Amino acid sequence: MKHGDITYPERGPLRRRTATAPAPSRPTVFRRRTAASLAAAAAVAALVSGCGIRTTSVPVDAGAAPSRVPCRLSASDAATPPPGGTTAKVYLVCASQLVTVERPVARGAGGDDPVAVARALLAEAQRTPSAGERRAGFTTAVPVGLRVERARGDDVAGAVRLSSQPEDLSAEALAQLVCTYAESEALVRDGSVVLGGPGNYPPRGYLCTSQTKARPGDLATTPDAVGLD
């Protein structure tokens, strides 16, 4: 294109420049992701709180679930001694613990004979809990087939021989027997209940403690087998 003596170059069509937004910086991206994460966490918390569950930031060991059984007999279910009889304390299992119930027995049942006393108390521990006891949550772990045998001549006084080795019984069954026998003066020697089984195994002393009643699996024994009387 000419204008006078000056020649101008041809100009092409004008191109419109499009502005390009700068890429977001890393802090901006981080803030956006953090905001999204917080929003998601808030939504989850709202759902949980709507279900009546209280959130916590750390794990909490609340222990065993509370028991709904009373482990206590009502007045109408309490044992009544027979005419001329009395009651004996027998330990049963309730809410994974040992709790006593009163069982009616004939007065003088067993007397001072350790074997007779042990047999009478074993029968009570084996007996199926009454309807009232079951309503209160009581059960028994003592097997029906267990028997009390006559002690050997070289056993200590008051020792009780069972038809099974004491260690072969379940923890609850053995703890039931030990704590039930511990209520009888005829079956306690130096604060412990001496139990043995068949064969030549010497009897061993067992202790009924508050820990045993709370956790039947934690049954304490004397350090060594009980020797000769």
188 assigned to some structural domain: yes
**Is 109 part of any domain?**
yes
Kindly state the average pLDDT of the residues 41-64: 44
The per-residue pLDDT for range 131-170, each reduced to its tens digit, is 999 999 999 999 999 999 988 888 888 899 999 999 999 9
In a domain, 27, yes or no: no
Q: Examine residue 205 and state whether it is found in any structural domain, yes or no.
A: yes
Residues of the chain with pLDDT > 70, as a percent, come to 64
pTM above 0.85, yes or no: no
Distance (Å, whole) CA 221 – CA 38: 57
Domain tally, the chain: 1
Give whichever of 20-29, 85-94, 167-176, 200-209 has the largest mean pLDDT.
167-176
Q: Which residue has the tokens 């007999």?
A: 73
pLDDT in tens, 56-81: 444 444 444 445 778 998 877 776 77
Cα–Cα distances in Å, from 213 out to 46, 94, 109, 134, 172?
44, 10, 26, 19, 10
Question: Is 8 domain-assigned?
Answer: no
Cross-strand pairs, 105: 86
Confidence of residue 109 (pLDDT cuts 50, 70, 90): low
Distance CA 15, CA 225 (A): 106
State both tokens at 48. 């949980």
